[in-house]
Amino acid sequence: MIRALIDGALAALLAPSCAVCGALLDRPLDGAACRTCWTRVARFSPPLCARCGDPLPAERTAASVGACCAVCSVDLGVIAAARALGPFEGTLADLIHACKYGRRPSIATGLGRLMRDLHATWPERVEVVVPVPLHPRRERERGFNQAALVAAALGPPVCEALTRRVHTSPQAAASGAARHANVRGAFTTSREGRHVRGRVVALVDDVLTTGATLAAAAAALEAAGPARIVALTAARAELARR
Ligand SMILES: [Zn+2]
Ligand SMILES: [Zn+2]
């Protein structure tokens, strides 16, 4: 009731608009993006590669349930399996851009909620979630770590088991091999790392592209002795077309 009144007052006084499509928000307390944009997020549906999570061609369903796609195009290192909500394009890409570069942390929380709804497609029951950290300098610039906000909305307990000790140059322009060289050794375990020992851990990030960042983070996390490491991301970029 009070929330509805505040929403109404904010909508009338400030006329805030959706960070993605620009439509007026009738419920600004629900976050920076409108309900229509959230319903437009394209999601992967089975059959998925058991390892990288990329969608498999439909004709392979019967023959290869649980199979790996023939050409996993990501190097996941010690990560057992990865899953993403959907492809990094359209509304999902717009939401992630608005979150990171338009500084709309509420969008990261919304992404985490959507990923929680896809629990049935996670590779296994996750006991602890570990966000991929930003370097402290980058986090200060942005004001938040989007991966930490996504992780907090997923459901299982969050453990900030990693720290980023190297301020790497932005990944956006680098090729696959360059990305792997760029982030190798960038992460180390924090004191919180003891909470992942013997557990199934999900590393959480906003986007999976070449796997370089996640693989480097997983390599550091491995030292803390988890039972298994999987990866959950909001989006999958540079998806091979086949
Ligand atoms: Zn919108
Ligand atoms: Zn694959």
Same-domain check for residues 8 and 91 = no
pTM for this predicted structure: 0.88
Q: 124-156 pLDDT, tens per residue?
A: 899 999 999 999 999 999 999 999 999 999 999
Looking at per-residue pLDDT, the higher value among 183 and 58 belongs to: 183
- Domain membership of residue 242 (yes or no) is no
Q: Identify the nearest ligand to the CA of 81 by its number.
A: 2
Same-domain check for residues 150 and 227 = yes
What's the CA-to-centroid distance between 105 and ligand 1, angstroms? 15
pLDDT value at 43 more than 70? yes
Same-domain check for residues 36 and 88 = no
What's the CA-to-centroid distance between 221 and ligand 2, angstroms? 22
Expressed as residue numbers, the domain containing 27 is 1-40
pLDDT value at 64 more than 60? no
pLDDT score of 90: 97
pLDDT value at 21 more than 80? yes
Q: Count how many domains the chain has.
A: 2
pLDDT value at 78 more than 60? yes
Q: 175-204 pLDDT, tens per residue?
A: 777 777 778 889 999 999 999 999 999 999
What's the CA-to-centroid distance between 39 and ligand 1, angstroms? 9
Strands 162-164 and 187-189: antiparallel
Q: Identify the nearest ligand to the CA of 94 by its number.
A: 1
Extract the tokens encoding 115.
Answer: 């990923």
pLDDT score of 62: 45
What's the CA-to-centroid distance between 44 and ligand 2, angstroms? 13
- Domain membership of residue 93 (yes or no) is yes
Measured CA distances, 189 to 108, 175, 223 (Å) = 24, 26, 8
Same-domain check for residues 35 and 52 = no
Residues with CB under 5 A from ligand 1 (ion): 18, 20-21, 23, 34, 37
Strands 128-131 and 200-208: parallel
Q: Angle at Cα 91 formed by Cα 18 and Cα 133, nearest 5°?
A: 90
What's the CA-to-centroid distance between 135 and ligand 1, angstroms? 31
Same-domain check for residues 61 and 173 = yes
Same-domain check for residues 90 and 172 = yes
Burial of residue 125 (number of CB atoms within 10 Å: 0-12, 13-18, 19+): exposed
Amino acid making up residue 62: A
